[in-house]
Amino acid sequence: MTKLNYLKDTYLFESSSEILETIEDEKGMAVILDQTIFYPQGGGQPADTGMICSENAEFKVMDVRLNVDGVVHHYGEFKNGSFQNGDIAKLSVEKEKRILHAKLHSAGHLLDCAVDELGLDGLVPTKGFHFPAGPYVEYEGVLENGADLIPTLEKKINELVDSDLIVEDKSLTSAEAEEQGVWAPEGKSARVVNFQGFPYCGCGGTHVTSAREIGSVVVRKIKSKKGKTRIAYALK
């Protein structure tokens, strides 16, 4: 199991780790580390990219995935050299991309808070897409004349940005997670995240530390179809 250091600090852009193994599978060449700051794609958030460098090799990370056993695979290609098991390597993630992904992810959570503040009780969040190309949150439930609500929702979410709510996170034991209806792998802890004063939800992604770091949010579209409502947003 890979130690996931990105959970502790979104703004940890450089670190070091031990090379455990270099493998090749159907997705390509992958480096396995004992610990990582690279976020693996999942939960609607894209993977980090960057470099893994030892004294004798440079590996460009282009995709990152977490398998069912909790092992992170860093996919990419060697720019030069090769790793030996046991090498100590420097890890560096692309700072601008990491920050953008964290802002987009946090904005999706803040959108949930704005929906809650407006009393749109018929909407229950089910999934989010926090990629730079067309982020949105999808809800169970339908909004009549959703397009008319765009100015009100946009105003509310930016009021929450200006209030600079703190992002909180904590770990639940597997028993606590089960009791509170949060999914966790059997026998393992679960991480929950919330904006201060709002309900938390299970989340393994990266986030800003407070709402004002997100910047201005634009609500692009509200569309209801087949019992679901999708709210698309963007950052200015």
First to last CA, the chain: 38
Are residues 54 and 137 both part of a single domain?
A: no
Amino acid at 153: L
Instruction: Supply the pTM of this predicted model.
Output: 0.92
Structural domain that includes position 62: 3-93
CATH number at residue 32: 2.40.30.130
Are residues 141 and 217 both part of a single domain?
A: yes
pLDDT in tens, the chain (236 residues): 999 999 999 999 999 999 999 999 999 999 999 999 999 999 999 999 999 999 999 999 999 999 988 999 999 999 999 999 999 999 999 999 999 999 999 999 999 999 999 999 789 999 999 999 999 999 999 998 899 999 999 999 999 999 999 999 988 777 777 777 766 655 566 889 999 999 888 899 999 999 999 999 999 999 999 999 999 999 99
Rg (CA), the chain: 19
* Residues 22, 105: Cα–Cα separation, whole Å: 31
Backbone angles phi, psi at 91, to 5 degrees: -105, 135
Beta bridge partners of 18: 88
Are residues 109 and 198 both part of a single domain?
A: yes
Torsion sign (Cα): 103, 109, 114, 117 = negative
* Residues 153, 115: Cα–Cα separation, whole Å: 7
Beta bridge partners of 76: 29, 61
